[in-house]
Chain A
Amino acid sequence: MYEIRAEDAQLLKYFRTTTTKNRPLELNRVLNRLRMGPLAGKSVIVCTKPYTEYALGTLGSKRGDRIVLGEKRYDKLKDAEWDLLKLRWAQMTAHPWPADLD
């Protein structure tokens, strides 16, 4: 399993400027790793109104548990994805989020 390194933080800026069609390979590797966490307690995006409103949520510990939603609502999926990326980076790496990224 790939261990994210501090220098991988410089790849994060490409998340907003690329899609899966043209993403740097190294960023794909980082994103794959950030998606590999266990399901229990995983942070996810929840679409609260089909295609128009989103929130970040946390999966429960077992099947059937209600997802706990965060307070913030997003009307753009891209914004929710960015915040989820930031959250997963904090949860799954010990490296600081680059101060100039936002």
Chain B
Amino acid sequence: MFEILGYADEWTVAPGDRISFKVHCQSPMALDMDIVRLRCGDTSPGAPGLKETVVVPSVGESIRGIQQYTEIGSRAVVPAFPESQSILRSWVLAIMPTLPRTDHEQTILSRSGGEGGSGYRLGIDTTGQLFWEQMLNGDKQRLTLQIPLIPRQWYLVSVSIDAASGMVSLSQYPKNVLLASNTADSGRMEFSKSGAEEYDALPLVFGAMPTGLEQPGYCDHYNGRVDSPTLLPYRAESSDLHQLLTETTARRFSLPPLVSFDFSIGIDSDRIVDTARAWSEGRIENVPTRGVPGLRWDSTVMNWQEKPDHFGALHFHDDTLEDANWETTIDYVIPDELSSGLYAARFSGPNGEREWVTFIVRPKPGGPRKKIAFLMSTATYMAYSNSHYRIDEDGMEMKAGNFMVLYPWDTYLGEHRELGLSLYDTHSDGYGVYYASRRRPVFSMHIKCRAWSLNADTRYLDWLDEKGFDYDVISDDMLHEEGLEALRGYNVVMTGAHPEYWSTRMWQAMVAFQQQGGRLMYMGGNGFYWRCAYHPEKPWLMEVRRTETGARYSETPAGESYHSYTGEYGGTWRRIGIPPQTLVGVGTTATGFDASSYYRRRPESYDERVRFMFEGVDEEIIGNFGSAGGGAAGDEIDRVDYRLGTPAHALVVARSEKHTRYYNVVPEETTYHHPTINGEEAKHCYADLVFYECVNGGAVFSTGSITWGASLSWAEYNNNVSRITENVLRRFADDTPFEFPAFTLSEEL
């Protein structure tokens, strides 16, 4: 597996659009390419298996498949500027190393021509000690301090250079002497080698060192924060270091700095601004984190927009990726006649190697729409992207309730860290990952893999095709970009199994759609859970900040809960104040991954309002079968909660039961710990099957379960889960408006 690996530059395209496929081969080979329409990609036991139709054969034959290189690790790059005119000069800056001891040296700032060249760098060696290094034509000299840095503590650092004598002084002073255990240190050394004049032609790089090579372009990536890097044209005194503790605009140096970077400017952009020189900027690369507390943060404010100067840090990581930047293997123009659906560019190698690079064909803008739209959760796919938590997170087996089984996609990602991380991972330094990119091979867009994300959603496409429904496929990308316009003309929008991540724009569009009479079928669980934000200029980048609570593997430390891309407060929609119950009647209550369960019909299921739903369904037990855990209620489940906004007139037609003790309620469902939060004993650990009418003829149907879709094909699609889904979809697609019922008081309110 994975002899061929690829990605497309866009995930959602319309007929007439050009899409570029970028493919890497383990060893060079000739590739053939077809375009296939995908009906089902789930090949897990009990699933329908791969179902694909070649719609455009032989698009490419004997295409040159090459090895492609991916550069990871963040940095910020500033174009070259002169500094050698100052015989005396000093760098003063603040650093907060987060992983000072690791298996490679780390570069905080550098001006370097690479191996064999000239330059300098400030770095941390593998034992966590700060050093200053100068290179002249490849010859290196280094001054290293003796006392190692303490992780996650701020240090004021100065490097004073006398270019005439060669004397360099290096010092580190902890901001908090107590917590940094008195790790102040300083040293001096006479450097015989200096290529000062050559520095002037070299870029300034924060967070890494240029190698001078094509691959890798950078090395020795830094893990940690940098704040207020300033180059002064004189020997710095301790008073100059203390200026860094002052807000940028109030600093008074003895002479104007040569450069003075203020990372608090442009937090929502890729720019870094040098306030010492007019119109002088650099750019961040490979997504270092912004909108995080810097040296001067004092906990008086949590939102970077209120006091940007408190958030003037860039947090660099050695394992980030913004864009794989692979060469395009082949471009393709989507034919006009290609109907909306899920497709793949299927690449085949000479020895049976195969790769499906999936993409969504949406209806043409302004073109005709079907009555049904299936919404593919591309925001959620982006969040899961290349997840390593099954291999990196030591609590995973306890969570799963089973011994961990690592599948080929897990082990491949575990070994190939150059493909970047997911929003479920932690960086090397333990901090949560905030940014994900789709410009790289994204395993959550794969088929024939774990029954999750896109692969799990193909169970719905398979079922829609089996039942002969006519539908369009749309995506979160499209919904975010176009808002309500993306949903225009549809009678019903059907989600997939796990529509977990929603941007504000997506959410607003869905609310507006409902208010106009649209029907929403929420066919999953743990949906509408987290806020996400897209980069204002680069829609292939997405950000999540996991604040306060929620089922998560990492959380944002204090001061990091506001999105850098949009300034919005991050976290769960429940804690933002717009719980999912207000949109779909149910919200996340518990998760568990050992086994699934069934629903039991409730008396409300016999209400006249839902007679249509249960036509042909006589059984009391629904969904005690399925390829995902053996039941239609499982993995992550949602319930009604009137306190959180479930409409009073909602009908809870069925409720799951008998979940195991490996299910646990999510953190936000319990304000304090007690022993009965597991599925066997918890008061509220169940999935609710819900229906209610909305204004203007609309309605909502919610399954509250991720595994519902994996039950659809059971017994040749002839089962009560399939029947209920079909009844609902046919009614929801019908033009006849739903009647908003008269109010009746429920005892549960």
Chain A residues near B (Cβ < 8 Å):
19-21, 25, 28, 32, 35-39, 44-48, 50-51, 54, 57, 59, 62-67, 77, 80-81, 84-85
Contacts and interface: CB of A to CB of B under 8 A. Distances in A.
Contacts of B417: 63-64
Contacts of A59: 391
The 8 closest A-B pairs by CB, nearest first: A35-B397, A20-B594, A47-B407, A45-B405, A20-B660, A39-B394, A64-B417, A46-B406
Given A20-B660, A50-B448, A51-B44, A63 B406 contact: no
B576 interface: no
Contact of B595 (A21, A65, A66): A21
A54 B407 CA distance: 9
A66 B411 CA distance: 8
B403 A85 contact: yes
A28 B661 contact: yes
Given A54-B405, A57-B406, A81-B403, A67 B662 contact: no
Interface string B580-603: 000000000000001100000000
Contacts of B594: 19-20
A77 B448 contact: no
A25 B662 CA distance: 11
A38 B394 contact: yes
B748 interface: no
B151 interface: no
A39 B397 contact: no
Interface of B: 43-45, 103, 388, 391-392, 394, 397-398, 401-408, 411, 414-415, 417, 428, 448, 594-595, 658, 660-662
A21 B397 contact: no
Q: Which of A28, A35, A46, A77 has the most CB of B within 10 A?
A: A35
B405 A35 contact: no
Contacts of B401: 20
A21 B660 contact: yes
Nearest to A37: B394
Nearest to B416: A64
A77 B403 CA distance: 10
Contact of B392 (A39, A44, A46, A51): A39
B414 A45 contact: no
Contact of A46 (B44, B388, B411, B595): B411
Nearest to B319: A63
Given A28-B661, A63-B388, 20 more contacts: A19-B594, A19-B595, A20-B401, A20-B402, A20-B660, A21-B660, A32-B398, A35-B397, A35-B398, A35-B403, A45-B406, A46-B411, A48-B408, A54-B405, A59-B391, A64-B415, A64-B417, A65-B415, A67-B411, A80-B405
Contact of B428 (A44, A54, A63): A63
Contact of A84 (B388, B403, B407): B403
A44 B404 contact: yes
Nearest to B392: A63
Contacts of A67: 406, 411, 414
B45 A64 contact: no
Contacts of B595: 19-21
Nearest to B44: A51
Nearest to B47: A51
Given A32-B398, A51-B44, A45 B661 contact: no
A36 to B, nearest CB: 7
B392 A50 contact: no
Contacts of A35: 397-398, 403
Contacts of B391: 39, 59
A26 B407 CA distance: 29
B404 A51 contact: no
27 contacts: A19-B594, A20-B401, A20-B660, A21-B660, A25-B661, A32-B398, A35-B398, A36-B398, A39-B391, A39-B394, A45-B403, A45-B404, A45-B405, A45-B406, A46-B406, A46-B411, A47-B406, A48-B408, A50-B407, A62-B103, A63-B388, A63-B392, A63-B414, A63-B428, A64-B414, A67-B406, A67-B414
B717 to A, nearest CB: 22
A35 B658 CA distance: 24
Contacts of B45: 51
A32 B127 CA distance: 36
Contacts of B43: 50-51
Q: Which of A50, A51, A67 has the most CB of B within 10 A?
A: A50
A63 B394 CA distance: 12
Contacts of B44: 51
A47 B405 contact: yes
Contacts of A50: 43, 407-408, 448
Contacts of A21: 595, 658, 660
Contacts of A47: 405-408
A63 B414 CA distance: 7
Nearest to A22: B660
Contact of A44 (B388, B403, B658): B403
Contacts of B402: 20, 81
A6 B125 CA distance: 47
Contacts of B414: 63-64, 67
Contacts of A25: 661
Nearest to A77: B405
A41 to B, nearest CB: 12
A10 B403 CA distance: 20
A95 to B, nearest CB: 19
B398 A44 contact: no
A61 B661 CA distance: 32
Contacts of B407: 47, 50
A39 B414 CA distance: 13
A54 B411 CA distance: 13
A64 B420 CA distance: 12
Contacts of B405: 44-47, 54, 77, 80
A102 to B, nearest CB: 18
A81 B401 CA distance: 13
Contacts of B404: 44-45
A64 B421 CA distance: 12
Contacts of B406: 44-47, 57, 67
A54 B405 CA distance: 9
Contacts of A77: 405
Contacts of A65: 415
B51 to A, nearest CB: 17
Q: Which of B44, B397, B448, B662 has the most CB of A within 10 A?
A: B397
Contacts of A64: 414-415, 417
A63 to B, nearest CB: 6
Contacts of B394: 36-39
A80 B411 CA distance: 17
A36 B396 CA distance: 9
Nearest to B415: A66
A85 B448 CA distance: 29
Nearest to A28: B661
Contacts of B398: 32, 35-36
B465 to A, nearest CB: 24
